Amino acid sequence: MTTKVGIVGYGKIAQDQHVPSIEGNPHFELAATVSRSGNGHPGVPCFATHADMLAQVKDLGAVAICTPPSVRYAIARDCLEAGLPCLLEKPPGVTLGEVEELKTLADAKGLTLFTTWHAQHNPAVTAAAEALAGKNVETMRITWREDVRKWHPGQAWIWEPGGFGVFDPGINAFSIATRIFPGTLWLKEAELLFPANRQSPIAANLALSGSAATGAVTAQLDWRHSGGEAWDIEVRTADGETILLSEGGSKLSRNGEAVAASGPGEYPDIYREFAELLAGHKSHVDVAPLRLCAEAFLLGRRTIVDAFED
Ligand code: NAP
């Protein structure tokens, strides 16, 4: 039997990735969308609020919450209260407490809660984690630069408190780093660069510590980058290996040699895992990437830079 899914927040990621992945997976069927502007998926019932969807779609089996993060908690809580398993886009909330509370609620109700981190679903990331397991890390360098105008055109929410700013893509890097690093990572120092007219940073320079790291662990996040993306994580191990994950975790090389790794793709793999979690009545909740963001905001020294206009 297929699970009927409702998508709340029918924006860029819902349209680009969730809909094709649901339509391409025999375990799921797109049954409803929620869009305040009435701009839902053609041929599928569209509701102005998630409450309307919960009240009117009687055979809904799960909800995918693809809104901006600041409203994720309230929507997820209502869906869980209504007895529906939830898949959360990244980041799963704006605070760690929100996610903990959702997990408590999901557990109490015996419902699946899935905090998705799409970058972790690259097979090259799994291969890198396997290559680093049990090793000591000498250095790890995260470089995450992209053009905000290309990836987030006109998304005003991203600059607001709870919008994450450059940590919106940066948290993807953290989701890979926390997955592959053979130990715990935490923040040591952070410089956050805020445009004079915005509430969220446009760039960040971070120094981290790690339980298995002897040298520097650094991250440079920057949205003021044009001419292609740089989404790289380079790790040097104490035994002399160099592991490079590039192109957002999709390509792996070991000591300069490309390593082949193939899989269904990030979002098809997310829905593969969601089907598995639903069948096993299990949850998958991972807050490690969100914790690094929270620590960066806690420790961050603020530098004001040029105002940003879309
Ligand atoms: P988006 O294009 O702005 O879409 C979000 C949608 O949510 C909007 O279309 C809006 O639809 C709805 N929405 C906005 N504010 C809302 C509110 N206060 N209450 C209820 N609904 C609201 O954003 P997006 O890029 O898809 O990003 C959504 C989430 O996916 C973010 O957490 C982001 O980090 C994550 N993500 C994005 C990408 C990407 O490449 N864009 C990749 C991976 C993950 P209506 O106005 O019609 O209601």
pLDDT level of residue 1 (50, 70, 90 thresholds): confident
pLDDT of 214: 85
pLDDT of 232: 98
Cβ proximity of 213 and 232 under 8 Å: no
| Calpha distance 81→226 (Å, rounded) | 44
Tell me which of 66, 89, 115 is where a domain ends: 115
| Calpha distance 255→242 (Å, rounded) | 5
Taking the CA of residue 168 as reference, the ligand 1 atom at the shortest distance is: 34
Please state the domain count of the chain: 2
Judgement on whether residues 145 and 205 belong to the same structural domain of the protein: yes
Output the CA–CA distances (angstroms, integers) from residue 69 to 83, 99, 169, 201, 210, in the order listed: 21, 11, 13, 16, 27
Residue 52 lies in a domain: yes
pLDDT of 251: 97
Judgement on whether residues 90 and 109 belong to the same structural domain of the protein: yes
Rg of the chain over all Cα atoms, to the nearest angstrom: 19
Residue 265 lies in a domain: no
CA 133 / ligand 1 centre spacing (Å): 35
What CATH number does the domain containing 96 carry? 3.40.50.720
pLDDT level of residue 118 (50, 70, 90 thresholds): very high
Tell me which of 95, 115, 135 is where a domain ends: 115
Residues near ligand 1 (Cβ within 6 A): 9-14, 35-37, 39, 66-69, 71, 89-90, 118, 151, 155, 157, 168
CA 65 / ligand 1 centre spacing (Å): 9
Residue 177 lies in a domain: yes
Q: Which residue type occupies 186?
A: W
181: left (phi over 0), alpha (psi -120 to 50) or beta: beta
Judgement on whether residues 101 and 157 belong to the same structural domain of the protein: no
**Is residue 295's pLDDT more than 90?**
yes
Judgement on whether residues 135 and 70 belong to the same structural domain of the protein: no
Mean pLDDT of 96-122: 98
| Residue located nearest, by CA, to atom 9 of ligand 1 | 11
**Is residue 137's pLDDT more than 90?**
yes
Judgement on whether residues 152 and 300 belong to the same structural domain of the protein: yes
Judgement on whether residues 104 and 221 belong to the same structural domain of the protein: no
Residue 57 lies in a domain: yes
Mean pLDDT of 48-56: 98
Residue 90 is among the residues annotated as catalytic for this protein: yes
Tokens coding 96 = 């760690």
Tokens coding 209 = 């510590």
Judgement on whether residues 111 and 124 belong to the same structural domain of the protein: no
In this structure, the number of other CB atoms found within 10 A of the CB of residue 13 comes to 18
Judgement on whether residues 81 and 137 belong to the same structural domain of the protein: no
Residue 254 lies in a domain: yes
CA 91 / ligand 1 centre spacing (Å): 11
Q: What is this structure's pTM? A: 0.97
Mean pLDDT of 44-69: 98
Question: Which residues on neighbouring strands pair with residue 205, listed in sequence order?
Answer: 191, 220
pLDDT level of residue 5 (50, 70, 90 thresholds): very high
Taking the CA of residue 15 as reference, the ligand 1 atom at the shortest distance is: 26
Tell me which of 115, 138, 169 is where a domain ends: 115
CA 66 / ligand 1 centre spacing (Å): 6
**107-112 long-range Cβ contacts below 8 angstroms, 24+ apart:** 107/283, 109/80, 109/81, 109/83, 110/281, 111/80, 111/83, 111/84, 111/85, 111/86, 111/283, 112/62, 112/85, 112/86, 112/274, 112/277, 112/278, 112/281, 112/282, 112/283
- Domain extent for 56: 3-115
User: How many CA within 13 A on the CB side of residue 292?
Assistant: 29
Query: Interhelix angle for 72-81 vs 96-109, to 10°?
Result: 10
In the set 12, 58, 90, 282, the catalytic residue is 90
Task: Measure CA 38 to chain center.
Answer: 26
Judgement on whether residues 84 and 203 belong to the same structural domain of the protein: no
Residue 281 lies in a domain: no
Residue with tokens 């909740």: 285
pLDDT in tens, 232-289: 999 999 999 999 999 999 999 999 999 999 999 999 999 999 999 999 999 999 999 9
Residue 310 lies in a domain: no
pLDDT in tens, 200-246: 999 999 999 999 888 999 999 999 999 899 999 999 999 999 999 99
Angle 98-167-288 from CA coordinates, rounded to 5°: 50
Tokens coding 161 = 């408190």
In the predicted model, what is the mean pLDDT of the chain?
Answer: 97
What CATH number does the domain containing 239 carry? 3.30.360.10
Mean pLDDT of 37-58: 97
Q: In testing the pocket of ligand 1, which one of 7, 13, 77, 269 has its CB within 8 Å of the most ligand atoms?
A: 13
Residue 277 lies in a domain: no
Judgement on whether residues 127 and 143 belong to the same structural domain of the protein: yes
Q: Which helix (H) or strand (E) holds 179?
A: helix 167-180
Judgement on whether residues 93 and 161 belong to the same structural domain of the protein: no
Burial of 116 (0-12, 13-18, 19+ CB in 10 A): buried
Task: Please provide the size of the chain in residues.
Answer: 310
Judgement on whether residues 298 and 153 belong to the same structural domain of the protein: yes
pLDDT in tens, 73-87: 999 999 999 999 999
Residue with tokens 């709340």: 8
pLDDT of 47: 98
